[in-house]
Amino acid sequence: MISSSWGAPLAFTKGFNLQHVSDGLYGRHLFVYSWPDGELKQTLDLGNTGLIPLEIRFLHDPSKDIGFVGCALASTMVRFSKTQDGSWNHEVAISVKSLKVQNWILPEMPGLITDFLISLDDRFLYFSNWLHGDIRQYNIEDPKNPVLTGQIWVGGLFRKGSPVVAVTDDGQPYQSDVPEVQGHRLRGGPQMIQLSLDGKRLYVTNSLFSAWDCQFYPELKEKGSHMLQIDVNSEKGGMAINPNFFVDFEAEPDGPALAHEMRYPGGDCTSDIWI
């Protein structure tokens, strides 16, 4: 079993404070345990390129000792694998560049990778950048060389109409173009994702954690979350928003509600638990 070390409750339950990172209240390690006895066998220090590791996913093929961990603040996907001597190593597989921004709390904005998954056939890896607002699809048939095959914008802090502006390397300001779905302006940024078993439908919600939602996307507290469906080209790669699917949690009887995890009744791409 491999576990991550994303943060101390006394830090993350109050919202994000950059000082807490300096104070060591957020993690950068993976812990390798023998199972089921629970003995700690190895600690992997991911360093500054692995700050705040969250979700861990192994390839679904049980013969392959390869997995990935999404590191939120570093905005990296780190690949780990078992070596011939039985120990584990790691390296950065994908890195999302922080963007220079105007009218925000910091001069640069990380993507903030908050969730990811691997398709059941181990061909594609998907992850969400909660702050930037995009979902990415990578071909990982060669796990050592991920290839970007799809990217779609469904929210984010520097979308068109926002006071926040991103700045390109050549100094030109720009904002992402985020469409409406069934007449609804998309709120917040993409967060939890879930893929259908055939790999053709990617579902996405937009609530991370209520204290963080209120801090970065206060409109979620006022209007609640929504769920979208992304249609996936599972052969060649590519994604598109399904214009006919929109679940609005503002209208819940006890709402507005904040939507997070999604699960299939019999097992899904993220749990690997089958009934």
Structure confidence at residue 267 (pLDDT): 85
Residue 30 lies in a domain: yes
Reduced to 3 states (helix: H, G, I; strand: E, B; else coil), residue 117 is strand
Compute φ and ψ for 115, nearest 5 degrees. Answer: -155, 155
Structure confidence at residue 159 (pLDDT): 95
Return the bridge partners of 67, or none. Answer: 58, 80
Residue 193 lies in a domain: yes
| Token digits of residue 217 | 């996307």
Determine how many CB atoms are found less than 10 A away from the CB of residue 90.
Answer: 19
Is 215 exposed, middle or buried, given 0-12, 13-18 or 19+ CB atoms closer than 10 A? middle
Same domain, 159 and 180: yes
Same domain, 109 and 67: no
Same domain, 151 and 245: yes
pLDDT in tens, 45-82: 999 999 999 999 999 998 999 999 999 999 999 999 99
> Are 206 and 225 contacting, i.e. CB atoms less than 8 angstroms apart?
yes
Residue 15 lies in a domain: yes
For residues 97 and 261, give the distance between their C-alpha atoms in angstroms, rounded to a whole number.
Answer: 27
Q: How big is the chain by its Cα radius of gyration, in Å?
A: 18
Average pLDDT over residues 80-109: 96
End position of a domain, from candidates 95, 122, 152: 95
For residues 269 and 227, give the distance between their C-alpha atoms in angstroms, rounded to a whole number.
Answer: 18
The model's pTM is 0.95
For residues 249 and 155, give the distance between their C-alpha atoms in angstroms, rounded to a whole number.
Answer: 16
Residue 165 lies in a domain: yes
Those residues with Cβ within 8 angstroms of residue 87's Cβ, 6 or more apart along the chain or in another chain: 42
Q: What percent of the chain has pLDDT over 70?
A: 99
For residues 137 and 190, give the distance between their C-alpha atoms in angstroms, rounded to a whole number.
Answer: 13
Same domain, 119 and 81: no
Reduced to 3 states (helix: H, G, I; strand: E, B; else coil), residue 222 is helix
Sorting pLDDT into bands at 50, 70 and 90, what band is 274? low
Residue 273 lies in a domain: no
Structure confidence at residue 106 (pLDDT): 92
Secondary element (H or E) of residue 129? strand 124-129
Same domain, 157 and 70: no
Residue 224 lies in a domain: yes
> Are 108 and 117 contacting, i.e. CB atoms less than 8 angstroms apart?
no
Higher-confidence position of 36 and 51: 51
| Token digits of residue 200 | 């053709």
Is 180 exposed, middle or buried, given 0-12, 13-18 or 19+ CB atoms closer than 10 A? exposed
Average pLDDT, the chain: 95
Structure confidence at residue 182 (pLDDT): 95
For residues 173 and 227, give the distance between their C-alpha atoms in angstroms, rounded to a whole number.
Answer: 30
Return the bridge partners of 202, or none. Answer: 195, 230
Same domain, 131 and 67: no
User: Distance between terminal CA atoms of the chain?
Assistant: 21
End position of a domain, from candidates 95, 127, 155: 95
End position of a domain, from candidates 78, 95, 112: 95
Which residue range is the domain that position 109 belongs to?
A: 96-265
Residue 273: is its pLDDT beyond 70?
Answer: no
pLDDT in tens, 169-223: 888 899 999 999 999 999 999 999 999 999 999 999 999 999 999 999 999 999 9
Residue 275: is its pLDDT beyond 80?
Answer: no
